[in-house]
Structure 1
Amino acid sequence: MITRGHLIGKIVDGLTSISQQVSTRCQLGLTDLNRYPEDLFKDYLNEALALSLVNLNDERSNEPGLDLGDEVPSVAFQVTSTKTAQKVNKTLKTTSKNQFDEINVLVIGKKQTSYQLGQSLIQSLAFTEENIWDIGDLCKKTISPSA
């Protein structure tokens, strides 16, 4: 019998491996892998958080601002390997307030320790640094969905 701890360990190891592969390839200027994790994280988040996210890039290649969205709970994600405040602010600028009530940025890797975010953007979108997730946050949510 496979235990919960064994399964969680495999998930954590897999997420960490993807993060490292994307990071290393980006450092080498190889961004070919960046598109594929969108669908992987869509499926993963759907299962882990009981969402029904769709890839917003399926209808329009490189949808501005957001990659994944679920209209019913009105939740969306930007999936990115770029962890900078500039990237987060750009995402928020290109996101329509009325499109989704909750916007999250999922950094494939490790996020910064703090962010300088545009005050008007975060106020109009009810966005905080808590909406910036990294692989560590995703692993925590795997272990305890309320984390």
Structure 2
Amino acid sequence: MMVDINKVGHVVLKVRDLEKSAEWYSRVLGMEIMTRAKDFPMIFLSFGNQHHDIALMKAPDGAEMGGLGLAHVAMQINGGEEKLRQLYGRLLSAGVSINHVWEHSVSRSVYFLDPDGIELEIFCETMGLEQGMEVMRGSDGGAEDIELEPIFES
């Protein structure tokens, strides 16, 4: 029996510098800072379609990047490949280092790091849900490097 969960509601990320990270997510990804927690070092951000998508929490002093835990956060975009190319250009213009530009069997993705070394993925689907489910069941789960032409804002 399938559980009646339809999406990931939000992600909480531990970061070294709350204000620096909140500014980066706002400037680079266009997120709105919704609120700052009153009694706890935490900032909530939204892409505009729900009250918050990402919350940033102050990590303990001396926290190391990498290791166990979260591998990456994937964010689906609307607008297809053209919008992905625009966001890719925005990342490059902001000086963000790109880890990968990949074609998956059901999507195209750009992977990059936030200021705390947390890997983020923006992606667009390349087919509808039913076809994507069928393709995914028969895929090897791999990815191929692709050339994606960025679109830069003028």
| TM-score of the superposed pair, with normalisation by structure 2 | 0.31
| TM-score of the superposed pair, with normalisation by structure 1 | 0.32
Q: Which one has a larger percent strand, Structure 1 or Structure 2?
A: 2
State which structure, 1 or 2, has the greater radius of gyration over its C-alpha atoms.
Answer: 2
